[in-house]
Every structure is written in C-alpha cells, then in structure tokens.
C-alpha cells in the first residue's frame, strides 16, 4: 500500500468516527450535521454521504471528492453541504477538518441572528472574541449555488480575522460550522461552542445587559491556552 | 393466512412499536400519548388501548376498530382520543398513521396558544411554514363529542393547506397531533416537532422580536428535501 | 404472623421502595425528600430515617411511629419533616401516603411563592384547579414546632377544598408536599406535579399573560379521568 | 511505611477520586475544573495535573506541592489554578480541600456578576446567606500573578464572614470555587451549589422581583442542619 493510500485510509476512518461522534455527543440529531476532512498533500476531501443515518456509517461508505467537488470514490451522494465545506478548505489553508451541526443553543443564536459575545472565561479559553454570525444571503445567492454561496459568506464574514483564533461561525437562520487542524479537533470545537452558546444564552436571560468580559481578562485566558506564551496543560517539554 | 390478515398483522406490530417509541424517545410520559395506523385497503384502524402502560403493550393487545369507531377486535377499550384520530383519517386521505403526544415544548406552545413560527432551516427542512394552533372549542363542542370535535377543529384549522406539507398541529391548551404516510413517519415527525418547538422557544426567549426565516430561504430548504426537485439524501437512482 | 404484622411488613416495603423511587425518578437529590405511609387500621406510620442516603434504605431501617410521633420501632431518628406528615394524616383521613421532595420546577414555583395555574389539559388531567401555595409562617410559628406548623398551614391553605382533587401543595419558600391513597400514588403525583410545574414555567416564560384553561375544558379533562363519569383507561368492567 | 507516607497516599487517592467525581457528576466538562487537598500536618498539597483528561487520572499522576507552590513530586505540571488554591489554604485554615468547576448555572451567575440570593430552604440548608461574587481584578492584577490574585480577591471578598458557613464563591466572569473540611466535602458543596444556582436562576426568570427567604426561616433551616442545635440526620449519639 502506498503512502497516499495509507493516508486516505486513515482519513476515511477519522471522518467516519467524527461523524459518529457528532451523534454520540448529542450535537446532531436525525441526520442533521456532517463532518469532513482533507488530505492537503493529495487535495482529497472525505465527507459524510447525504441523508445516511449515523449508525450506518462505515469508513468505506464515506464519499471521496476533489476540491472541485467531483466524486472520486463511493456510490453515494456526498452531503448536500459539501460546497460549503469546500469553500472553507479553499479559503482557510490551515484547516484540516470541517464540521456542521444543528446543536441546540448554537442554532438558537443563529436563528436569533446574534453573534455570541464573550461573556466569560469559558468562552475566552476557546474563542478569541465573539463568535460571529453571517448576513442572510440574497434571494439570488439562494437560488443558485446556495451551499457554495453560504461558504463564501462565511469567508467574507471573517474578513481579516484569523480563522484559527475563532474556529466557528453561525450561519444566519441556519446553524454553526466549525473547523480545526483535524476533523477531530473540529468536533471538539463544535462541542465547546454548544456549551459556550448555552452559557451565554442563560447569562443574557439572567441579565439582558450583561457586559462582555474585560479585554485584559479575555486576552489573559486566550493566551494562557493558545500561542507561544501558553502555560496551560503539559506543553511540549514535559 | 390471507393477504389482508398479513397486512393487519403487520399493522398491529407497527402500531405497537410506534407507541413504545413514543415512550422510548421521551415524547410521552406516564400514559400520555397514543399512536394509530390505518390499513386503507380494508379501512381497519389499529390504536393503543386506553390507559395501558407502554411497557405492557404487545401487538395482540392493540385495539382494532373500523372508521366509524366500532371495536372489531380486542378486549380493551381504545384510546379515548380515538375519535380525533378517525376525523384525521377521514379528512386527510394520504395519512397512514397518527400520533398524539404531550411532548414538553410542543405542549408549551399549545398551552400558550401560539403557532410555532418558522425561525430557522431546521424547521424549514421539516415543515412548510408555521405549525398552526387550533381555536378553543365552544363549551357545547366540549360537552358532546369532545374528541371528535377536536379532530374537526384540526381539519378546519388546515383549511386549504396541504396537510402533507405541515404534518403537525397544536391543539389549543392541550398538545400536538402529528401524522404521516405511516405511523413510523408520524413518530419521527413528533420527535422533529419537539426539537423545532424547543429551538423556537429559546429563540423567542433570546429575542422576542426574532423574525421568521426569509421566504426564499425557507422554500429552498423545504424543496431541497421534499418534492420533485429534492436533492438531499440518496434519492431513488443511487 | 398476625394480619397486623403482615400489614406492617408490607408498609415497610412500600415506604422503602417509595423513598428509593424519589431518588430514581430524579425528584429528590442528596437526601432531600422523604416518603411515608400509614396503616389506618393500626394507626402506625412508617417514614424514612433522617439524613440517610437513598441507596442505604432497606425496609428494616425505616422508622415506625404512632400518630403522636413517638418512635415505636427502629434505631434511627425519623425524618425531621415527620410532624408535617402527621398533620396531613390527621387532617386528611383519606390519605394513605405522603411525599416531600425538592423537585426542581415545583420548588421554583414555591420559591417564587406562586400557585401553579392550570394552563393545559396535562394539568387538568391530574389536578382540579391550581396547585396552591401556602403563606409564610410567622417568626413565632417558625421558632416553635416549625414542622408541625408547616403541616397546619398546609391544612389551613386547603380550607374547604377536597384534598383528593388537588393532591399537592407548594410550601412557600420551601418545596412541595404530595399525597395519595397510597405512598406509591403519592410518588406518582409528585412526578406529575414536577412535569406540570415545568410546563407551566415554560408557558409563562413564552407568554407572561398566558390564560388559564377555560373552565369547561378543565372540567372535561378532570372528569374524563376522575369520578363516576370517567371514561379514560380500562375502568372496572374490562 | 511511615504515618506521613500513609497520609499522603490516602490524600493522593482522595484527590484523584474527587477530580474524577467532578467529571462523573457533570460539574466539569472537557478538562475544566480541578480539585486539591491538603495534609495540614505536613503542609503538603495534592492537586490535579494541568490539562490531563479526567479518565487518565490516577493517584500516582497527581502533583504534590508545598504551600509555596514548589513541585515536590510528579512529572507533570500542576493545574494552572494552583496559586488560587494555595491562597485559600493559607487564608482559611479550616479548609482541607478546594474544588474549582465551570458547572453550568453557577458559571452563569458568575458571568452575570451577581451573587446568588437565598431564595429558598434548599439554599438555606446548605449556605448561610447569599453566595458572594468577587470584583473583577485590575488589569495590573491580571498581568502579574493572575491566579494568586484571584485567590486574594476571594479572600478579600469574604472579609469578616466565616468561610465555613458559605463554602463557595463566584469569581466574576469566570466560575465558582468551593471548599470543605475534606476534598470530598468540597465536591459535594460544588454539586449543591450548582443545584441552588439553577433553582435561583429559574426563580428569578419566573419572577424577577422574587424576595429572599425571610431571615427567621433561613436561620431555622441553616441551624437545623449545622452547628450545636442541629437536629437533622442521625447526629453522633445514634
């Protein structure tokens, strides 16, 4: 088996497991939600087949496509959200995995079309600043290439921000997309986003005028966990 | 065994399983909630016996009635909501199964006598427009043929709408009824309705002025999954 | 073994099981909550020992007292809420079991000092009208015979109402007490109360002006399940 | 094995189990939350290693430090919150264990920067008066010795209050810290705090003007369970 075959085999297994995790962790009910991963060396993307129950997923029924969206392997149609995933892989070159869920509280913020403010250190530990929400697409952008245009709107929404520091977005009226260096990391981010969204929801309900965390405190917590001065966890040297 | 006997046997098993699913999926506590199915060829309706615990249901203690409500088989009384089910079978001839639950958030909207607005794509994927709520019955319609009148009010509430596109209704002050081509589909719809009701509840709590999904986006999601242009899932040809 | 010994043995088993059910059904966390039962023939009351974990309860460590509160059997102290139970047994002679919980949403209504209005048929199926809330005790009634005075205030709060038709009360700032013909029925009522309290909570949050169920509809549902004209369930004759 | 070795072995086991309990009881998701214990005789403190999953904790990978924070045993870095724990051990000499969680509703109150008022007897049974919230640290106190300054602010916040009577605090914008005579007691307090925080949240949502429990009633419940006149539970003499 060649190296590239081995890499693809590993990715099929990882993406299958990530999709099953979405269901196991309560982030995707029914067949809502899908996960994909990319092998940057070959440019191959592996994604969940559309409308198949999580319990029936196996590495060998994942769909393999290229970055243009052509199906290279598999008898099943890829997730209908594939074009959104592809836009993210093209725009954010550090991203190795993408996850879409309808997790409850993140979806509630998306439905209310509100960015999730950074209200506490739980948020600041995971996301650098608010989790943004997109604008609604125009009727024209819905009529043609809806899913690709959703991806383009996400990219536009990030503008100059580093998508590694806030690895999640709320699509207006729809639900979140998350990403990471690997598809497993993207699943972890989706789970963290749900908890942060739930905490922010209840905080706003308790006090509609709750203020965002002071900047110095938010920076402290983010840099304690991320970047060159991080001192949380066991680091490289232990 | 004749074909009609085999069909009835299958329906008894399906309806029994659907009732047990209501309990297993957390949609009906205590003995709240009941499911029925119809064999359109014979006109036989199978329904849960009244007040029997879900754990004690077996295919052979389901109650078989005709469309007029006469018990044809079984020693137990049928669910007291039977006349409501029968009205729905008579009015909506595409319906193969009916489910009644007191699932939490759907019941909350029914108690508040508010239709569930379409606030996001999760809703639009499942229901075409808002999930309607009935008017209260008059005292006279409560005093006599209460359950049948409840069914008639549901039918009236749908007016010209296609009951296949919104396969659920909230009965004012009471709780939801759902339906589908089969009783299993009606159970799935009841579960989806509960999730949609819970999302809409929290969205309104976060922003009491949350706007319904733009029409073009709602249409896109409904038609992506339903009707001749659907491209979600694996379709017929794969 | 005499009949009265057999009756007591049965009651010890029932009361032990009822206390364990409070924990198993999520109605009492930690050591909050206690259940008791009475044998009306002998006047013996069996109750949970104070502060003992539910997992360590056995029929033979239940405490047996008389209606005056004297311990007749058992090495352990009875629940500190015993005098409240005894007041209820003395005042409501149809009651065979009493349950006290700190179940979440019922306690929330007690803390807000609000009766739970009848907002839907789920409530009307179980309780005839609102579930009342007591007044706060005076400082003097707290200082001396606090637990007995709590029971007296519950009885006062019911005034002329039939305590069989609303088998539950909220003690202001504290939590609910429930009762029934048997201790098992009292546990079922406590579970139903929690669900009704949770539904009413979310209904009021969705619409603070939500109206109580029309009287005719509430009466219909209560009498459908209770009293001589009940037609829900399998009745006596099936 | 010397007595001090045996004591340390016992503490390693207790602290490991307490950390695992934080996860098992749903008080700490991901790697949020940490527990420590102190052996007052030797001055040794045992704490969770930083960023290690709860499922991988064993008594022998706990970290042992002195009250100055120097690591005496273990290959792993201690929790980054260690300096906060040490400040509490130095200021509150009756404390044998400290627990930090991001439990949901306690964190919500911390994010809203509101003390939890005593709204019912569930609260009064466990805490004597409101659970206080700290002030935000200054930018300077965040920039240098952030975690130690967090501990100092907690101590300052308690002023003259007896930290045994309210064994918990909310750190503004962050989350709770709890303590107790042992680390196991601190875990129990953290669980109780979460329930009390959740009840208070829903009570305020139901009635934003909900009044604190009358003083006489709060005192009654606290002294029923704590101090020389306690009569709840089985006491010493049974």
Q: Which of C185, C212, C189, C190 lies closest to C200 in space, CA to CA?
A: C212
Cβ contact, residue pair C50, D195, below 8 Å: no
From the list A50, A113, A201, which residue is nearest B233 (CB)? A50
Q: What is the pLDDT of residue A237?
A: 37
C20/B164 Cα distance (integer angstroms):
46
Alpha-carbon gap: D237 to the closest alpha carbon of chain C (Å): 10
Alpha-carbon gap: B231 to the closest alpha carbon of chain A (Å): 7
C187/C228 Cα distance (integer angstroms):
24
- Count of CB atoms situated within 10 Å of the CB of C13: 16
Active-site position among A5, A60, A162, A232? A232
Q: Is the pLDDT of residue C104 over 80?
A: yes
Q: Distances in Å between the alpha carbon of A157 and those of A102, A163, A172, A222, D45? A: 20, 10, 11, 22, 48
Q: How far is CA B120 from the centre of its chain?
A: 21
C113 interaction partners in chain D (CB closer than 8 Å):
210-211
User: Are residues B200 and B132 in contact, defined by beta-carbon separation less than 8 angstroms?
Assistant: no
C206/A61 Cα distance (integer angstroms):
44
The residue length of chain B stands at 238
- Within 8 A by CB and 6+ apart from C170, the residues are C106, C109, C110, C115, C116, C131, C132, C133, C134, C176
Cβ contact, residue pair C77, D233, below 8 Å: yes
Beta strands of C74-163 (E only): which ranges?
97-100
Largest CA distance in chain D: 60
Query: Chain D interface residues facing chain C, Cβ-Cβ under 8 Å?
Result: 119-122, 125, 188, 191-192, 195, 198-200, 202-203, 205-207, 210-211, 213-214, 216-217, 220, 224, 231-235, 238
Q: What is the pLDDT of residue C165?
A: 96
Q: Which of B78, B62, B80, B58 lies closest to B70 in space, CA to CA?
A: B78
- Count of CB atoms situated within 10 Å of the CB of C75: 10
pLDDT tens per residue across span B2-29: 888 999 999 999 999 999 999 999 999 8
Cβ contact, residue pair C50, D233, below 8 Å: yes
How many B×C Cβ pairs under 8 Å? Answer: 82
C179/A82 Cα distance (integer angstroms):
57
Cβ contact, residue pair D107, A199, below 8 Å: yes
User: Are residues A191 and A104 in contact, defined by beta-carbon separation less than 8 angstroms?
Assistant: no
- Within 8 A by CB and 6+ apart from C106, the residues are C116, C168, C170, C175, C176, C190, C193, C194, C197
Phi and psi dihedrals of D148, rounded to 5? -65, -40
Low-confidence ranges of chain B (pLDDT < 50): 236-238
* Binding partners of A (≥3 Cβ pairs within 8 A): B, D
Q: Which of C91, C123, C93, C126 lies closest to C203 in space, CA to CA?
A: C123
From the list C108, C137, C146, which residue is nearest D206 (CB)? C108
Query: What is the token pair recorded at B202?
Result: 């929290």
Name the packing angle between helices A104-111 and A183-206 (round to 10°). 60
* Binding partners of B (≥3 Cβ pairs within 8 A): A, C
Alpha-carbon gap: A216 to the closest alpha carbon of chain D (Å): 6
DSSP state of D227: S
D195 interaction partners in chain C (CB closer than 8 Å):
29, 104
Mutate to test the interface with B, among A31, A112, A133 (most CBs of B within 10 A): A112
Query: What is the token pair recorded at A79?
Result: 């997730």
A129/A109 Cα distance (integer angstroms):
16
Q: What is the pLDDT of residue D30?
A: 87
Q: What angle do CA A72, A74, A75 make, to 5 degrees?
A: 125
| pTM (whole model) above 0.80 | yes
C57 interaction partners in chain D (CB closer than 8 Å):
none
Alpha-carbon gap: A139 to the closest alpha carbon of chain D (Å): 39
C83 interaction partners in chain D (CB closer than 8 Å):
none
SS3 state of residue A176: strand
pLDDT tens per residue across span C208-233: 999 999 999 999 999 988 888 888 88
Q: What is the pLDDT of residue C174?
A: 98
Cβ contact, residue pair C203, B173, below 8 Å: no
Per residue of chain A (238 residues), give pLDDT as tens: 788 899 999 999 999 999 999 999 999 988 889 999 999 999 999 999 999 999 999 999 999 999 999 999 988 999 999 999 999 999 999 999 999 999 999 999 999 999 999 999 999 999 999 999 999 999 999 999 999 999 999 999 999 789 999 999 999 999 999 999 999 999 999 999 999 999 999 999 999 999 999 999 999 999 988 888 888 888 643 3
User: Are residues C178 and B87 in contact, defined by beta-carbon separation less than 8 angstroms?
Assistant: no
pLDDT tens per residue across span D170-202: 999 999 999 999 999 999 999 999 999 999 999
* Helix, strand, coil percentages for chain A (3-state, nearest 5): 45, 15, 40
* Helix, strand, coil percentages for chain C (3-state, nearest 5): 45, 15, 40
A20/A14 Cα distance (integer angstroms):
10
Q: Which of A151, A177, A210 lies closest to A97 in space, CA to CA?
A: A177
Cβ contact, residue pair D238, C105, below 8 Å: no
Q: What is the pLDDT of residue D237?
A: 37
C226 interaction partners in chain B (CB closer than 8 Å):
none
Comparing alpha-carbon positions, the chain B residue that sits nearest to C238 is B76
Mean pLDDT of C83-108: 98
Active site (catalytic) residues of D: 125, 232
Active site residue B232: yes
Mutate to test the interface with A, among B206, B210, B229, B231 (most CBs of A within 10 A): B206
Comparing alpha-carbon positions, the chain D residue that sits nearest to A117 is D111
Q: What is the pLDDT of residue A227?
A: 85
Comparing alpha-carbon positions, the chain A residue that sits nearest to B216 is A139
Comparing alpha-carbon positions, the chain C residue that sits nearest to B74 is C238
Cβ contact, residue pair D217, C173, below 8 Å: yes
Lay out the sheet containing B63-65: strands in order across: B71-73, B63-65, B44-47, B34-39, B97-100, B176-180, B168-170
Cβ contact, residue pair D175, A120, below 8 Å: yes
Q: How far is CA B13 from the centre of its chain?
A: 18
Comparing alpha-carbon positions, the chain B residue that sits nearest to A106 is B199
Alpha-carbon gap: D10 to the closest alpha carbon of chain C (Å): 24
A144 interaction partners in chain B (CB closer than 8 Å):
none
Query: What is the token pair recorded at A106?
Result: 């993140």
Cβ contact, residue pair C238, B77, below 8 Å: yes
Cβ contact, residue pair A119, D80, below 8 Å: no
Query: What is the token pair recorded at B235?
Result: 């379709």
- Count of CB atoms situated within 10 Å of the CB of C38: 26
Dihedral angle at the C-alpha atoms of D210, D212, D216, D222, nearest 10 degrees?
Answer: 120
A235 interaction partners in chain D (CB closer than 8 Å):
77
D19/D2 Cα distance (integer angstroms):
26
* Binding partners of C (≥3 Cβ pairs within 8 A): B, D
Alpha-carbon gap: A104 to the closest alpha carbon of chain D (Å): 15
Cβ contact, residue pair B235, A77, below 8 Å: yes
Query: What is the token pair recorded at B152?
Result: 């008639």
Low-confidence ranges of chain D (pLDDT < 50): 236-238
Q: What is the pLDDT of residue B31?
A: 82
Query: What is the token pair recorded at C160?
Result: 């002329």
SS3 state of residue C55: helix
Percent of chain D with pLDDT over 90: 88
Lay out the sheet containing C176-180: strands in order across: C71-73, C63-65, C44-47, C34-39, C97-100, C176-180, C168-170
The topology under which CATH files domain A3-223 is: L-fuculose-1-phosphate Aldolase (3.40.225)
- Within 8 A by CB and 6+ apart from A93, the residues are A40
Q: Distances in Å between the alpha carbon of B31 and those of C6, C200, D181? A: 32, 20, 47
Cβ contact, residue pair A199, D104, below 8 Å: yes
- pLDDT band with cut points at 50, 70 and 90 for residue C238: very low
Query: What is the token pair recorded at A8?
Result: 């693809």
A80 interaction partners in chain B (CB closer than 8 Å):
224, 231-232
Comparing alpha-carbon positions, the chain A residue that sits nearest to B207 is A112
- Within 8 A by CB and 6+ apart from B6, the residues are none
Phi and psi dihedrals of C131, rounded to 5? -90, 115
SS3 state of residue D85: helix
Q: Distances in Å between the alpha carbon of D29 and those of A104, B224, C43, D33, D51? A: 17, 37, 51, 8, 12
Query: What is the token pair recorded at D87?
Result: 């400040």
Cβ contact, residue pair C111, D210, below 8 Å: yes
A193/D1 Cα distance (integer angstroms):
48
Q: Is the pLDDT of residue C237 over 60?
A: no
Cβ contact, residue pair A214, D136, below 8 Å: yes
Active site (catalytic) residues of C: 125, 232
Q: Please, is A231 exposed, middle or buried when counting C-beta atoms within 10 Å of its C-beta (0-12, 13-18, 19+)?
A: exposed
The residue length of chain A stands at 238
A33/A81 Cα distance (integer angstroms):
9
Cβ contact, residue pair C173, D220, below 8 Å: no
Active-site position among B7, B39, B125, B141? B125
Alpha-carbon gap: C14 to the closest alpha carbon of chain B (Å): 20
DSSP code string of D18-42: HHHHHHHTTS--TT--EEEEEETTT
- What are the counts of helices (DSSP H) followed by strands (DSSP E) for chain D? 8, 7
Q: What is the pLDDT of residue B155?
A: 98
């Amino acid at each position: 088996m060649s190296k590239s075959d081995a890499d693809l085999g590993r990715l099929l297994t990882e993406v299958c497991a990530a999709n099953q995790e979405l269901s196991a962790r309560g982030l995707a009910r029914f067949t809502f939600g899908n996960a994909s991963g990319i092998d940057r060396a070959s440019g191959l993307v592996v994604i969940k087949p559309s409308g198949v129950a999580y319990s029936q997923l196996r590495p060998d029924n994942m769909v393999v496509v290229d970055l243009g969206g052509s199906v290279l392997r598999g008898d099943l149609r890829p997730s209908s959200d594939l074009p959104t995933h592809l836009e993210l892989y093209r725009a954010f070159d550090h991203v190795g995995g993408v996850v879409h869920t309808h997790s409850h509280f993140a979806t509630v913020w998306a439905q209310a079309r509100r960015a999730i403010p950074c209200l506490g250190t739980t948020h600041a530990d995971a996301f650098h600043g608010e989790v943004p929400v997109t604008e609604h697409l125009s009727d024209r952008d819905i009529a043609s290439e809806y899913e690709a245009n959703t991806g383009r709107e996400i990219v536009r929404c990030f503008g100059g921000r580093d998508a590694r520091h806030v690895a999640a977005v709320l699509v207006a009226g729809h639900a979140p997309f998350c990403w990471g260096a690997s598809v497993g990391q993207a699943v972890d981010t989706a789970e963290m986003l749900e908890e942060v969204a739930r905490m922010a929801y209840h905080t706003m309900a308790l006090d509609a005028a709750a203020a965002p965390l002071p900047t110095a405190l938010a920076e402290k917590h983010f840099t304690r966990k991320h970047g060159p001065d991080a001192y949380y966890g066991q680091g490289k040297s232990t």
